[in-house]
Structure 1
Amino acid sequence: MEFIKAILYGIIQGITEWLPISSTGHMILFEEFAPLGLGDAFRSVFLVVIQLGSILAVVVLFFHKLNPFSPRKNKEERRETWSLWGKVLVAVIPAGIIGVVFNDEIDRLFFRPQVVAATLILYGVLFILLERRKRKPTIRSFHELGYREALLIGACQVLALVPGTSRSGATILGAVFLGSSRVVASEFSFFLAIPVMLGASLLKLAEAGGGFSTLEWSVLIMGAVTAFIVSIFAIRFLLGFIKRNDFTAFGYYRIVLGLLVLLYFSLR
């Protein structure tokens, strides 16, 4: 049964991490119906470390674009790749500092169903309002994305420390507001996840000390592998979807999910 749960958690993680619909909101609902039966300590590690599978999916799908040592790139293209990594690192600074200093306090204050429901609805409304502006994007490539814009997108990522916001949702929303095309905004959000989620996963593993049983390691690996496979499809879906559509549908989905979370925990 725990293996089946791990697969289901991996599916939810792989889909909701990349679509701007909040993985936390979905996880909270799913945990109500299928909680892991391996203890709270392992559960807290599992929910973070399965993100490693999602990160690997980004690395695999965008390996050429992210690899500054690729022999298929000329000197200028390698320089642009190093510049892209520089912008990613600049963008993770705000969330990295705030997350390390205030992580426990944020969880204590905001990790509750009412907050998750409120942020789901709030950012759903913002997505709808943003798309109604119909402003023509001014940033259509990573070359046109400056370090200032990267830092401001990183500041938006700080908002995602509040559960229910959605890391991808906050960064995509911020990037589009600053003038990025939907494709640039989405891909930059994917790339920001690499240092953020890798750091969070390794920190959790270090805190846990790796003292898991064979069953726990197996469940953890199963969840991460599932998240990797599903993430491949989710990322491809999103990039294909936004070439033909805007983010309005995700806005309405967030509002409906937020109302469901609020209703469920009000009646429970």
Structure 2
Amino acid sequence: MDILLAVKAIIMGLVEGFTEFLPISSTGHLILAGSLLDFTGEKVKVFAIAIQAGAMLAVIWEFRERIARLLTGLFSDRKQQKFALNVLIGFLPAVVLALMFSKAITAELFKPVPVAMAFIIGAFIILYAERRHKNMPATARIETVDDMTMLDALKVGCAQSFALIPGTSRSGATIIGGMLFGLSRKAATEFSFFLAIPTLLGATAYSVFKQRELLSAADIPMFGLGGLAAFASAFLCVRWLLRYISTHDFTIFAWYRIVFGVIVLVTAHYGLVNWTE
């Protein structure tokens, strides 16, 4: 594999891993990085989705003990059965809506102004959620993911569906949605991690299968390097985020989203980035 291509794949993987689990939209950052690196095209779109699997492996590794308890107790432990059912319920809304509207969303919303609006509107929702959480702490009635009901899981799953809109951020939609629906910041963040496993692995499998004619054995090293870089950076990010939320809120990410929204508009206006990629 060409060294320059390898470097680009690694950079894209690092961007994916560092942004996937933060409420700042990994898709937007991958589009910007790909444009700056001149790393674009249909195959790159598949690559950007496929390397999410590397980021997911970092979550699986970080929560390996919890996942092991879940798997071993799936047929005997009611607590684990309830949690697995909640993850499944939370996973379904985005799948159904993606199958119904993904083509229309890609055609109509993958444009500079909608992407920028998603960044900025999402920022104000984060600011509102954090202010509400600070002023009315009693609204956080669910301290752990084990306290969630099926209705709670469905609500968070519906919130995740908003991530189909480019620039929204899957993790941002699930975490902030969870907080608005009564989850503590910690519970919302952890459920977002677990909900990401079937969501992103499913998206990876579907995208690779659907676009399999674009791919060949020669692409394996590029995808492997990108996935490995995504795993490493996501591992660091997940560890950091779990420590961060114990003493901080998400306000800083809201202001970052506003700045990034402005970047989208400016780069699109001057033709520096093709945000329809």
Q: What TM-score, normalized by structure 2, do the two folds share?
A: 0.90
- For residue 122 of structure 2, what is the aligned residue in structure 1? 123
Alpha-carbon contact 2:179-2:188 (below 8 Å) kept: yes
Alpha-carbon contact 1:24-1:163 (below 8 Å) kept: yes
Q: Which amino acid aligns with 2:119?
A: L
Superposed counterparts of 1:1-268, under 5 Å: 1-36=4-39, 40-68=41-69, 78-133=77-132, 134=134, 135-136=136-137, 137-209=140-212, 212-268=215-271
Taking the aligned partners of 1:116 and 1:157, their CA distance within structure 2 comes to 17
Mean CA deviation greater in 61-70 or 180-189? 61-70
Q: CA deviation at 1:65?
A: 1.0
Q: CA deviation at 1:261?
A: 1.2
| Number of residue equivalences | 264
**Cα RMSD after superposing both structures:** 1.9
Q: Which amino acid aligns with 1:241?
A: Y
Taking the aligned partners of 2:172 and 2:124, their CA distance within structure 1 comes to 12
Q: CA deviation at 1:113?
A: 1.9
Q: CA deviation at 1:209?
A: 2.5
Alpha-carbon contact 1:124-1:252 (below 8 Å) kept: yes
Alpha-carbon contact 1:20-1:166 (below 8 Å) kept: yes
Alpha-carbon contact 1:17-1:23 (below 8 Å) kept: yes
Mean CA deviation greater in 96-105 or 28-37? 28-37
For structure 1, which runs of at least 5 residues remain unmatched after alignment? none
Q: CA deviation at 1:215?
A: 3.8
Taking the aligned partners of 2:58 and 2:164, their CA distance within structure 1 comes to 23
Q: Residue 163 of structure 1 aligns to a residue in which SS?
A: coil
For structure 2, which runs of at least 5 residues remain unmatched after alignment? 272-277
Q: What TM-score, normalized by structure 1, do the two folds share?
A: 0.93
Q: CA deviation at 1:104?
A: 1.1
Q: CA deviation at 1:33?
A: 0.9
